[in-house]
Structure 1
Amino acid sequence: MRRYSLIAIFLHWTIAALLAFQISVGWALEDLGAGGFSLYQLHKSVGISILVLTLIRLAVRFWKPRPVRIESGWQGALASAVHGGLYLFMLGAPLTGWALVSTARVKVPTLLFGIIPIPHLPLPADAHQWAEGGHGLLAWLGIALFLLHVAGAIRHHMMLRDGLIWRMMPARSPMLLVALPGLMLVGLLLGKAILPEPVAEVARPQPAAPATQDEIAPPSPTNISVANAVETAVAPDDAPAQAEEAIPPPPGWTVQPGGRVGFSVDNSGETISGGFSRWTAKIVMDPDRPDSADIRVEIDLASATVGDAYQDGMLAGEEFFDTAAHPRAIFTAKGAERTGRNSYRAVGTLSMKGASRPQSIRFTLSGTGDSRKVAGSASIARLPFGVGNGESSGGLAPRVAVTFQFNARAQ
């Protein structure tokens, strides 16, 4: 019996294994939430690969002569319909998936296996609904055709015993008869094996409650008043004038290159860490008189990165920082208080994504003279700023830890 060409045989079994993998993974993605992000990217890459291999398979189908049909009547018509439907599925499922990604509200870049960029299709946003429906419908159709195709092959080999299956084998070998169809089982099991645990359904966190008095209150005026009263009682009448003349203005500090502003957030039990590569700080402060502090920090939100091109693209989108409309986050504070020998707390205002909220930061100073090393942290509630406001953010913790460190020199 005449066989298919070797390249057709190779493409047939490769596509079959990839389809089995896609079926195994695809139906689980919706239940994984944000924890399935990396698997979602792999699903897209495998889908594009199936599309490319199917196009090659079609070219080979017309380039290389095929074995003649051995079945006629309604059985032959059904076999032809299943083959045609499978080609529709192998082309349509990747294309509707591509359209689905291209029209999504959150624009996630597509990189083929993290290397080759795949552009979005130039489709209108209202095409998203039909792309989503079409992708799901084709998935069900593909599973049905997949099962019919396998059932037909088993019928020919086990019941009709006409040797039809050998046409899709490079040699008449019992070992190949087990190994090649076994690739589909390998694809199914591999897809199941790499699935992470589903994210448990939890109530969406409510916006953070107003900060406690300790978080938003400036240094206690009572303590300042007591200290002033004691100084007034023991100082001579001209002490205030002498003090004003003796106290120099607080120095300004220039941030030296090499500093870092980083962030981390829990995502369904895993930690996502990243940082901002572009930011500036204007600082005026006498470490011995922290109430003299005047701090302004501006962060370029478009410079945010977590080391993954897919997720970096999501950070810039409307669901997270919306950098097109709100390119910067700004923190300002007037005054600080000492909380330890070299540690301080500053309470100010954080403005981001069109919202402004009270925010405190804690930091330490080390070194002496005109050179100091600064290290600090803050805990920021993301929900009041609308950061992470979509379905893909369901697994994110409500607070983001921010850390910073840099060297500064007095001007």
Structure 2
Amino acid sequence: MQRYNRAAIVLHWAIAALLAFQISVGWALEDLGARGFALYQLHKSVGMTVLALTLARIAVRYWKPRPAKLEGGWQGALASGVHVGLYAFMLGAPLTGWALVSTAKVKVPTLIFGTIPLPHLPLPAAAHGLAENGHGLLAWLGIALVALHVAGALRHHLLMRDGLIWRMVPGRSTALLIALPALILVGFVAGRAILPGPQAAPAPLAPEPANAANAAEPADIAAAVTIAEAANAAAPAANAAEAAAQEPLAPPPAWTIQPGGRIGFSVGNDGETISGSFARWTARIVMDPDHPDSADIAVTIDMASASVGDAYKDGMLPGDEFFGVAAHPTATFIARGAQATGPSTYRARGTLTLKGVSKPQTIRFTLSGKDGAGTDATRQVSGSATIARASFGVGNGDSSGGLGPQVALTFAFTAKRQ
């Protein structure tokens, strides 16, 4: 009996196993919300792999024609129709998924297995509903076609005993006859196995510990600035008042942020925590450490420099759902004055402008380090702030449903007196 060539056999079973994986994962994606983000990226990657393998399968079919049909009549016509339908499914499901991603309101970048970038299709946003409905419909039609295909294979092998199934099994091996179809079950089980477990109750969001390489969010940075200058305010309040009465205050000194500072942020996400930082920011700090009320702080953050260490999520951050970088490339924090709240601890109230919205914002910080003569004076600054993201329109789309309402900001840096 004429058989399919080896390339066709390998592609047939590989595509079958991947489709089983896709179906088992696809069923669960809608219910996972933000917890399914990583799985969603894998689903896209496997989908593009199925598309590539299907195109290769079609090329092989024309290069090495398939064996002749063994059955005519309506049964043969039905078998041919199922085959055509399966090819339409294997091509259409990945293509409609690609179109769905390309027309979504939130532009999530696609990196095949986190490596190869896949551009969005040049489709209008109005096509999103059609792509979404078509993708779901094709999935169900595909399941029905696969069931018919399997039923037909079993009919030929068990009832008609015409040996048709051996066309897709190398060497008429009984072991391969069992192992190859088992790959389909393995694909389905693997898809279920990697699904996230039941969602745990969200843990309280704790600020990210500050370190010598950390600095704050817009607000945090400003705080840090205030902090650096407030450091010298460790002198007792009584002494400060006495000095003020005896002689006029000199202009407050300016401080320079030293390399190595960091602005960090973290937010709860369906029981997990997403943490990141801003790579580019600047600060202007003027303050007399002995008089925190003299603080004049201005911090500017390049919002395009935000990163959470994940290529997919980093690609979403500049979009309108989050930072809207195209219209609002920077965020600023400005504060005039600070207050001592305890030994070496301070508070600064200012204004945070983020995504075109300005709101009052408070930061808290701690100073450490020793005084020095002139430019030898340095302070280590660390602090935190809590920002209500919704007030600034950050996280305003469907993919943000699992994000916590508060973003914890932390900062740490060294400031040197000019």
Which residue of 359, 371, 375 corresponds with 2:378?
Answer: 371
Structure 2 runs not aligned, ≥5 long: 203-235, 372-376
Contact 1:104 1:125 (C-alpha < 8 Å) held by counterparts: yes
TM-score (norm 1): 0.89
CA deviation digits over 1:54-73, x for unaligned, max 9? 00000000101321100100
Residue identity in the other structure for 2:247: A
In structure 2, the partner of 1:128 is 128
In structure 2, the partner of 1:12 is 12
In structure 2, the partner of 1:386 is 393
Contact 1:199 1:395 (C-alpha < 8 Å) held by counterparts: no
Which residues of 2 match residues 395-410 of structure 1 at below 5 A? 395-410=402-417
Which residues of 2 match residues 206-355 of structure 1 at below 5 A? 242-244=246-248, 247-355=249-357
How far residue 241 of structure 1 moved from its aligned partner, in angstroms, is 6.8
Instruction: Give the secondary-structure state (helix, strand or coil) at the position aligned to 2:2.
Output: coil
TM-score (norm 2): 0.87
Structure 2 residue 71 is the aligned partner of structure 1 residue 67:
no
In structure 1, the partner of 2:194 is 194
Instruction: Give the secondary-structure state (helix, strand or coil) at the position aligned to 2:170.
Output: coil
Distance 2:127 2:201 in 1: 29
Which deviates more from structure 2 when the two are superposed, residues 78-87 or residues 384-393? 384-393
Contact 2:303 2:323 (C-alpha < 8 Å) held by counterparts: yes
CA deviation digits over 1:10-45, x for unaligned, max 9? 000000000000000011101000110000000000
Distance 1:33 1:39 in 2: 11
Instruction: Give the secondary-structure state (helix, strand or coil) at the position aligned to 1:162.
Output: coil
Residue identity in the other structure for 1:347: R
How far residue 240 of structure 1 moved from its aligned partner, in angstroms, is 6.7
CA deviation digits over 1:55-102, x for unaligned, max 9? 000000010132110010000000000000000000011011101111
In structure 2, the partner of 1:21 is 21
Instruction: Give the secondary-structure state (helix, strand or coil) at the position aligned to 1:32.
Output: helix
Which deviates more from structure 2 when the two are superposed, residues 31-40 or residues 291-300? 291-300
Distance 2:201 2:387 in 1: 24
Contact 1:299 1:330 (C-alpha < 8 Å) held by counterparts: yes
Residue identity in the other structure for 1:260: R
Contact 2:201 2:271 (C-alpha < 8 Å) held by counterparts: no
Distance 1:96 1:71 in 2: 34
Distance 1:200 1:144 in 2: 36
Distance 1:3 1:394 in 2: 52
How far residue 279 of structure 1 moved from its aligned partner, in angstroms, is 0.6
Instruction: Give the secondary-structure state (helix, strand or coil) at the position aligned to 2:107.
Output: coil
Contact 2:99 2:131 (C-alpha < 8 Å) held by counterparts: yes
Instruction: Give the secondary-structure state (helix, strand or coil) at the position aligned to 1:184.
Output: helix
Paired residues in the alignment total: 379
Contact 1:31 1:198 (C-alpha < 8 Å) held by counterparts: no
Hey, which bits of structure 1, 4+ residues long, moved more than 3 A? 197-202, 239-242
Structure 1 runs not aligned, ≥5 long: 203-226
How far residue 200 of structure 1 moved from its aligned partner, in angstroms, is 9.1
Residue identity in the other structure for 2:385: A
RMSD: 2.0
